[in-house]
Amino acid sequence: MQKSRPLIAVTSDIRDIDGNNWHATPSEYITALAEVAQVTPLLVPNIRDKVDHDALFAAVHGLLITGSRSNVHPEHYGQEATEQHGPFDPDRDATTLPLIRAALERGIPVLGICRGLQEMNVALGGSLANDIQELNGKNDHRAPVSTIRDERYAISHPLEIAENSCLAAILESTAVNTNSVHRQAIDRLSDKLEPQAVAEDGTIEAVVVKDAQDFALAVQWHPEYWVRSDAPSAKIFQAFGDAVRKHACKAE
């Protein structure tokens, strides 16, 4: 008899498809969770304060905060919005930012990816820098210009991982090559977060929550895309899955 897999809450985006609003997420996240983390993903709709956190976290044992084309609205970190800050997804902001805080308060394992890292920083009081490729001393972290997705998500971006860090323990290394598909990044780091990895230009590429009750890691790159063929990408999802199973066992 196959042992049941724990449920994972997965954030979603609002997408306009054929004139209808869909609550959706890219399939790579679902595949990485189901095949590598070996958990069952459950999409959380963007219904703002109608998400019952107590009921949700009584049923699930982890939270994945996905990446997205949209950006966190600057109003959430005290800045005035411009067109350059977009595109926005206000329903996602109003749903996911409180969801992150609720998960951490309850000691639920959390993994954030790309926008997920930025949301975690904002949810905990930090801010974001926009169009970092235009800032002095910063590299261009945007995806290569291509219509081929494998080229856009190509692994080519070296990072330095902090010694004796949570991420170094997961990857069993203090160096890793990743993809890079973002133009925003952490500006003011939340005092509740601790850096785990930086790019060559000093951009923070991974964080953990200080004094977290359980696994609470976020990365700026996209490990879900190459999870079937890239060992470091797989290790991140395996570690998340392990943390979720331990949490589920404790909850029984």
CA distance 17 to 40: 25
What number is the average pLDDT over the span 124-137?
Answer: 95
pLDDT at res. 2 = 52
Q: In this predicted model, what pLDDT tens digit does every residue of 40-85 receive, in sequence order? A: 999 999 999 999 999 999 999 999 999 999 999 999 999 999 988 9
Q: In this predicted model, what pLDDT tens digit does every residue of 93-121 receive, in sequence order? A: 999 999 999 999 999 999 999 999 999 99
CA distance 148 to 208: 32
Cβ-contact 121, 186 below 8 angstroms: yes
Q: What does the mean pLDDT of the chain come to?
A: 96
Residue indicated by tokens 């107590």: 54
- Of 161, 154, 162, the closest CA to residue 178 belongs to 154
Distance of alpha carbon 13 from its chain centroid, rounded? 13
Q: Domain segments of the chain: what residues?
A: 7-251
CATH superfamily entry for domain 7-251: Class I glutamine amidotransferase (GATase) domain (3.40.50.880)
Question: Rounded to the nearest 5°, which phi and psi values hold at 214?
Answer: -150, -170
pLDDT at res. 45 = 98
- Of 28, 156, 11, 189, the closest CA to residue 89 belongs to 11
Q: How confident is the model at residue 1 (pLDDT cuts 50, 70, 90)?
A: very low
Distance of alpha carbon 6 from its chain centroid, rounded? 19
